[in-house]
Amino acid sequence: MSTAPLSHAFLILFKRDLTLAYRKRAEIVNPLLFFVLVTAMFPLGIGADPAQLRDIGPGIIWVAALLAALLSLETIFRSDFEDGSLEQLLLCPHPLSILMLAKVAAHWVTTGLPLLLVAPLLAVLLDLPEEARSTLLITLALGTPVLSLVGTIGVALTVGLRRGGMILSLLVLPLYVPVLIFAASAVTTAGAGLPVSAHLFLLTALLALAVSLSPAATAAALRISLS
């Protein structure tokens, strides 16, 4: 990787992480099953009244997606830390922030994208209106990458800790709140037949901000954790 161009190094790391994730398919399935089961259990617990489900459905789906993303975060650097690959990435001549962006992209493809694909079925389960379903997919497409980008910073800070799961949750969950608020509000607003462009613009701004700042912050956090 050290003699390869930056774009080639990015693709190599991206494909490597996808290959490792495919070999550990249970780590892909677990967050997805968690997402489906948590969402499906709410109608059983609160009743199957369609009006009530339509009112709280967007919040249910997005809280479940947030928790599923949190459940998958520790897998980003676990194998790399155990086999020493993280130290090799730190010694690589390419910018570490770009390499971190490749790892985040691979993480989103294996965790965020499955949530996006199964969300329409859960929207039907919760009887969301047609307008809300399309908006739900847009918010997941914009919001789940932010969850991966922001969560990677917390994982980098706690990668060297033996039991960093609780600390990771405390670090990351408060940063997830804006995404949860704007995304769930956009779906609810769309279900009411109102324009949602402001919510989507805010989510897009959060995504742009996360893409701009998160890789550099993750690289700095890794250097601190592994120094």
Return d(Cα 164, Cα 68) in angstroms, integer.
Answer: 17
pLDDT at 43: 82
Two tokens, residue 25 = 């398919």
Q: What is the pTM of this model?
A: 0.89
Higher local confidence (pLDDT), 157 or 46: 157
Number of H helices, E strands in the chain: 10, 0
Contact 158, 164 (CB under 8 A): yes
Over residues 43-96, the pLDDT tens digits come to 888 777 778 888 888 999 999 999 999 888 888 887 777 777 788 888 888 888
Angle, CA of 97, 103 and 106, to the nearest 5°: 145
- The predicted model gives 19-33 an average pLDDT of 84
Alpha carbon of 221 to those of 87, 94, 152, 160, 167: distances in Å?
A: 13, 17, 10, 11, 15
Whether the predicted pLDDT of 164 surpasses 70: no
Percent of the chain with pLDDT over 90: 44
The rounded mean pLDDT for the chain is 87
Return d(Cα 36, Cα 42) in angstroms, integer.
Answer: 11
- The predicted model gives 86-113 an average pLDDT of 88
pLDDT at 143: 94
Higher local confidence (pLDDT), 26 or 206: 206
Return d(Cα 57, Cα 75) in angstroms, integer.
Answer: 29
Contact 148, 210 (CB under 8 A): no
Q: Which pLDDT band, with edges at 50, 70 and 90, does 144 fall under? A: very high
